[in-house]
């Protein structure tokens, strides 16, 4: 596709504002009876109250962290992050933050759906951890183990990620790291390797953002650009511009890869910028995951409430399972769908809009302002876990209600 565009068009499409405004157009279509889904707004409040129940079960004191990768590392009540902190205790605050950003960026990029049949067996003689894990938690522990083992480091210190080392990774490295076998298959492994190699290429070529070829150098870039205090939206833009080149086969405006942005024919012709719908799911989740180590370095990140909910299958599955949205043609539940299909684009758009509405209900019920209880906390405390809970109740494998074809880069 060839587009006419300006620099401001790029800024817009890389912004939370674009996500909300473009998904709102598809939400209005659904309200008008157009598209693949029926929308029942009368069920939003009921769903929000269910999310409130889940929040109260998970976090009765309402001390909820952002929805991020860090919670997955400590699954099973094991303090794996604390163990890492003990190993790096002698480092200064900024270097600790760089190291943790190295870890979380690589881990998030490895997190796309693993499939229902994959498991990771954590063998740990230290007394911290152990057991079998699946889905996001299993992927998190596997990525942490690979990081701790130095798989991503080119130096004697294992606790870092280097672009040069990522470029040399093989499929066999990841098969071993994820314990893949004929009896333990994982989907999207090639996509994950491609992402890591693309990350390696970006780290070695983009000296402005990653001056030493490490993901964690993005912190130095942000401090140099914005000082010791910046908005979450600035962090997101840094992620989108710095890591944008890694995404495969997506829409470009000049040299800028827009990432998680898709064309929907109902919004305009294929060569019109108006037809593009932005989600930036992995990039926003990565942004949420980067906030904690940055704050630990005494760098202030504010304005998280401006970011959006995440258009992924747990949140989207919640609204399908609670019948806030329904497919007009139930037969489509039996068909596998590509990430770029218009049905999936609509599902994700409705998810973003409904998360805003559920979030507003939750904030009102708790007597909280959006800046006090941003969507990042609503996701972590409630919607993501509510989506998982309903999936487990309704389907034996606990999978999403729609059959998704994952390429290891979206869901």
| Closest listed residue to residue 274, CA positions, set 36, 1, 39 | 1
Q: How far apart are the first and last CA of the chain?
A: 24
Q: Assess contact for 325 and 40: CB atoms under 8 A.
A: yes
Percentage of the residues of the chain whose pLDDT score is greater than 90: 75
Which residues have C-beta within 8 Å of that of residue 143, sequence separation ≥ 6? 103, 106, 107, 110, 111, 177
175-197: pLDDT as tens digits: 999 999 999 998 888 888 988 99
- Tokens representing 130 are 């152990």
Q: Assess contact for 300 and 219: CB atoms under 8 A.
A: no
| Closest listed residue to residue 30, CA positions, set 387, 378, 345, 262 | 345
69-84: pLDDT as tens digits: 888 898 888 889 999 9
Q: Assess contact for 101 and 290: CB atoms under 8 A.
A: yes
Residue 252: phi and psi, rounded to 5, are: -115, 145
pLDDT for 407 equals 59
Q: Average of pLDDT values for 252-276?
A: 93
Beta strand residue intervals within 111-254, DSSP E: 120-122, 131-133, 229-231, 252-253
Residue 409 reports pLDDT greater than 80: no
- Tokens representing 113 are 């759906």
Q: Average of pLDDT values for 299-303?
A: 95
Q: Assess contact for 336 and 27: CB atoms under 8 A.
A: no
pLDDT for 208 equals 93
pLDDT for 112 equals 72
Q: Which band of pLDDT confidence, cut at 50, 70 and 90, is reported for residue 135?
A: confident
Residue 168 reports pLDDT greater than 60: yes
Residue 229: phi and psi, rounded to 5, are: -145, 125
Size of the chain, expressed as the number of residues it contains: 411
In this prediction the pTM is: 0.89
Q: Assess contact for 216 and 99: CB atoms under 8 A.
A: yes
Q: Assess contact for 345 and 33: CB atoms under 8 A.
A: no
Q: Which band of pLDDT confidence, cut at 50, 70 and 90, is reported for residue 320?
A: very high
- Tokens representing 308 are 């959006």
Q: Average of pLDDT values for 29-52?
A: 97
Q: Assess contact for 218 and 242: CB atoms under 8 A.
A: yes
Q: Output the CA torsion sign for 22, 23, 28, 30.
A: positive
Rounded CA separation 207/202 (Å): 9
At residue 229, the 3 state secondary structure works out as strand
């Amino acid at each position: 596709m060839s587009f006419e565009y300006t620099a401001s068009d790029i800024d817009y499409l890389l912004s939370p504002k674009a996500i909300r405004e473009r998904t709102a157009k598809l939400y209005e279509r659904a309200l008008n009876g157009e598209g693949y889904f029926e929308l029942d707004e009368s069920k939003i409040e009921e769903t929000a109250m269910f999310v409130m129940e889940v929040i109260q079960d998970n976090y009765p004191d309402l001390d909820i962290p952002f929805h991020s990768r860090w919670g997955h590392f400590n699954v099973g009540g094991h303090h794996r992050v604390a163990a890492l902190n003990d190993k790096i205790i002698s480092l200064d605050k900024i270097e600790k933050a760089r190291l943790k950003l190295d870890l979380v960026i690589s881990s998030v990029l490895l997190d796309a759906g693993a499939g229902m049949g994959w498991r990771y067996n954590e063998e740990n003689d230290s007394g911290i951890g152990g057991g079998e894990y699946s889905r996001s938690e299993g992927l998190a522990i596997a990525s942490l183990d690979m990081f701790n083992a130095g798989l991503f480091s080119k130096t004697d210190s294992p606790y870092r990620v280097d672009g040069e080392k990522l470029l040399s990774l093989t499929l066999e490295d990841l098969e071993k790291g994820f314990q893949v076998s004929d009896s333990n298959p994982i989907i999207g492994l090639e996509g994950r390797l491609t992402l890591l190699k693309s990350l390696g290429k970006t780290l070695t070529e983009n000296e402005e953002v990653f001056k030493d070829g490490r993901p964690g150098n993005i912190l130095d870039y942000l401090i140099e650009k914005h000082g010791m205090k910046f908005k979450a939206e600035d962090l997101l833009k840094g992620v989108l511009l710095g890591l944008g080149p890694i995404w495969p086969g997506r829409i470009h405006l000049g040299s800028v890869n827009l990432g998680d942005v898709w064309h929907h024919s109902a919004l305009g012709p294929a060569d019109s910028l108006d037809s593009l719908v932005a989600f930036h799911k992995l990039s926003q989740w990565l942004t949420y995951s980067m906030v904690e180590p940055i704050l630990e370095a005494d760098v202030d990140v504010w304005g998280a409430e401006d970011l959006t909910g995440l258009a992924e299958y747990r949140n989207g599955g919640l609204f399908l399972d609670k019948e806030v949205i329904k497919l007009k043609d139930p037969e489509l539940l039996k068909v596998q769908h590509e990430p770029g299909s218009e049905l999936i684009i609509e599902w994700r758009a409705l998810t973003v809009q409904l998360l805003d509405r559920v979030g507003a209900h939750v904030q009102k019920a708790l007597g909280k302002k959006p800046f006090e209880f941003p969507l990042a906390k609503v996701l972590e405390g409630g919607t993501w876990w509510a989506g998982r809970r309903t999936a487990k109740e309704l389907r034996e494998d606990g999978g999403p209600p729609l059959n998704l074809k994952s390429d290891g880069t979206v869901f």
